[in-house]
């Protein structure tokens, strides 16, 4: 199914994507700008506007300090505007400063020392990281962390793992000397090391074995209708039971009456013992009605569903249609809950890991070891938000935390216009004992703006190509 086919159809589908996107992005943007705002107030800077979104105001109000709080039409970010700002990019202007009275100058951003301005600018990304830490802490405390042991359930024939000597039931204990405790950790390390030979420490029936395998890129279709490029060595965790863990709204399975918790017993009379068995049967039957026998609360129910067609690579440069019904597997593993202090430590580690992974992924893309189409722009985030929203509130909160870290990370890039670029200006000012000239800063900001706009166009193009590929793949 495509961008529209696996959603909820037509205008309502677009509304669902928009609502999910706003649910994810709005709190992240609000917290980012709130970081700037609170530290600015603390440093004695007067804030004229606090805006969520760009463009014409939809609604807003003015607080007792004279700050206009507003929501605007284009919800792709936000800004705080200081008393002496000429624009939302905090472009310094001597003329704007000269127009202020002596009393007003005391509340101007440009009159503050570099350390105060740096603190105000850095507060936005830091607030994003703190939001992620808070969300992860709450999840680890009240829900727990799902941990699946890093045990090999199956080895893909002729894949890197098979050639390296991996076998079913091997327990992976380390990768490149780094201890691993879950299958998700193993997958994360593999994903960030495409085309690099890795050393795996494996516990095989009590004996420690060292194996070497090189992760490769493979394209596949997910049960949610995505064409995914995945880095893999060709191993899978132990087989998941054929239990429905979640449904994509208005996808074939949901429309046929499947429910979360259903256990698929057979398809067209063929016994189904695992989720993978179900996927294999569905995959080779696009556009053909199938009869599912389902165990629902110990009662057998028969449901008929026609898998939708999704185009994917056949691994040999060609294309093949695969069937998809829009079912997510039930989580496998054990939820481990932590005390609040332990959860805080885990949350800090998780946030740090996301930042480190982003740095590694950026390097991989620049080194052309990871394709640039793994990037996501606004459309991509909207699509992922809608998909994650169908998985439940915990998954959606985790995604908000992930996006918050990503936005904080990107804003620290040393590009003028972004927070990191401003921090570079203040560092130069601290060393030179005087700021760069307004002309130099203006040129740098224009270059930075051009780079940001170019990046925006590129990721949007990637998003649109992904959608077009999906839609044309249905023909």
Domain boundary among 287, 315, 343: 315
**Is 33 an active-site residue?**
yes
Same domain, 159 and 183: yes
Q: What pLDDT, in 10s, does the model give residues 151-166?
A: 999 899 889 999 999 9
- The rounded mean pLDDT for the chain is 86
DSSP 303-326: EEE-PEEEEEE-SSS-EEEEEE--
pLDDT at 314 exceeding the cut of 60: no
In a domain, 107, yes or no: no
Average pLDDT, stretch 441-460? 84
Domain boundary among 315, 346, 362: 315
Q: Of the candidates 164, 142, 266, 275, which has an alpha carbon nearest to the alpha carbon of residue 209?
A: 164
Q: What is the pLDDT of residue 1?
A: 36
Total domains in the chain come to 3
CA dist 201 and 169 (Å) reads: 14
CA dist 48 and 413 (Å) reads: 26
Same domain, 231 and 158: yes
Average pLDDT, stretch 404-419? 93
User: Residue 185's domain is classified under what CATH number?
Assistant: 2.30.42.10
pLDDT at 313 exceeding the cut of 70: no
The answer to whether 242 touches 278, Cβ cutoff 8 Å, is yes
Q: Of the candidates 219, 238, 237, which has an alpha carbon nearest to the alpha carbon of residue 229?
A: 219
pLDDT at 9 exceeding the cut of 50: no
In a domain, 172, yes or no: yes
Paired sense of beta strands 68-82 and 327-329, if any: unpaired
In a domain, 331, yes or no: no
Q: Report the interhelical angle of 114-142 vs 340-366 (nearest 10°).
A: 120
The residue count of the chain comes to 475
CA dist 74 and 258 (Å) reads: 37
Q: Show the tokens assigned to 100.
A: 């202020």
Same domain, 34 and 117: yes
Domain boundary among 236, 253, 284: 236
Q: What pLDDT, in 10s, does the model give residues 74-93?
A: 888 899 999 887 665 566 66
Q: What is the pLDDT of residue 136?
A: 97
Q: What pLDDT, in 10s, does the model give residues 10-39?
A: 455 677 778 888 899 999 999 999 999 999
In a domain, 37, yes or no: yes
Q: What is the pLDDT of residue 384?
A: 81
CA dist 45 and 39 (Å) reads: 9
Structural domain of 268: 244-315
Q: Rounded to 5 degrees, what are φ and ψ at 275?
A: -60, -35
Q: What pLDDT, in 10s, does the model give residues 337-372?
A: 999 999 999 999 999 999 988 888 888 777 777 776
Same domain, 232 and 278: no
Active-site residue identified among 33, 49, 185, 383: 33
Same domain, 181 and 161: yes
Our CA angle for 7, 8, 14, nearest 5°, is 80
Same domain, 224 and 279: no
Same domain, 308 and 196: no
In a domain, 259, yes or no: yes
């Amino acid at each position: 199914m495509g961008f529209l086919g696996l959603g909820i159809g037509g205008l309502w589908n677009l509304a669902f994507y928009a609502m999910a996107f706003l649910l994810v992005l709005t709190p992240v943007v609000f917290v980012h700008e709130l970081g700037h705002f609170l530290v600015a107030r603390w440093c004695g800077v007067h804030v004229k506007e606090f805006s969520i979104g760009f463009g014409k105001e939809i609604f807003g109000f003015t607080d007792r300090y004279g700050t206009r709080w507003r929501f605007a039409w284009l919800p792709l970010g936000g800004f705080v505007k200081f008393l002496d700002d000429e624009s939302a990019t905090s472009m310094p202007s001597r003329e704007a400063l000269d127009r202020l009275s002596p009393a007003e100058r005391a509340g101007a951003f440009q009159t503050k020392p570099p350390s105060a301005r740096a603190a105000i600018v850095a507060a936005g990304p830091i607030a994003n990281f703190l939001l992620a830490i808070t969300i992860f802490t709450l999840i680890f405390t009240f829900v727990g962390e799902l941990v699946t042991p890093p045990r090999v359930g199956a080895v893909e024939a002729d894949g890197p793992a098979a050639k390296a000597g991996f076998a079913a039931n091997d327990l992976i204990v380390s990768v490149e000397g780094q201890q691993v405790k879950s299958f998700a950790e193993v997958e994360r390390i593999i994903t960030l090391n495409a085309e690099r030979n890795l050393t795996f420490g494996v516990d095989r029936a009590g004996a420690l074995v060292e194996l070497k395998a090189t992760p490769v890129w493979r394209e596949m279709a997910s049960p949610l209708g995505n064409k995914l490029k995945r880095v893999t060595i060709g191993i899978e965790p132990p087989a998941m039971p054929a239990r429905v863990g979640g449904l994509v709204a208005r996808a074939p399975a949901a429309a046929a009456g499947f429910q979360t918790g259903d256990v698929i017993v057979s398809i067209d009379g063929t016994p189904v013992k695992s989720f993978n068995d179900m996927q294999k049967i569905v995959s080779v039957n696009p556009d053909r009605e199938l009869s599912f026998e389902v165990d629902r609360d110990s009662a057998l129910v028969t449901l008929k569903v026609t898998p939708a067609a999704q185009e994917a690579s056949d691994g040999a440069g060609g294309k093949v249609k695969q069937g998809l019904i829009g079912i997510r597997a039930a989580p496998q593993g054990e939820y481990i809950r932590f005390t609040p202090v332990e959860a805080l430590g885990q949350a800090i580690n998780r946030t740090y890991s996301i930042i480190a992974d982003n740095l590694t992924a950026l390097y991989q893309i620049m080194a052309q070891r990871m394709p640039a189409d793994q990037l996501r722009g606004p459309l991509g985030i909207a699509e992922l938000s809608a998909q994650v929203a169908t998985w439940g509130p915990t998954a959606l909160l985790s995604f908000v935390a992930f996006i918050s870290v990503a936005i904080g990370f990107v804003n620290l890039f040393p590009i003028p216009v972004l927070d990191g670029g401003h921090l570079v200006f203040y560092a130069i000012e601290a060393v030179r004992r005087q700021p760069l000239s307004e002309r130099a800063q203006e040129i740098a900001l224009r270059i930075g703006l051009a780079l940001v706009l170019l990046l925006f166009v590129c990721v949007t193009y990637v998003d649109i190509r992904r959608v077009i590929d999906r839609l044309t793949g249905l023909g």
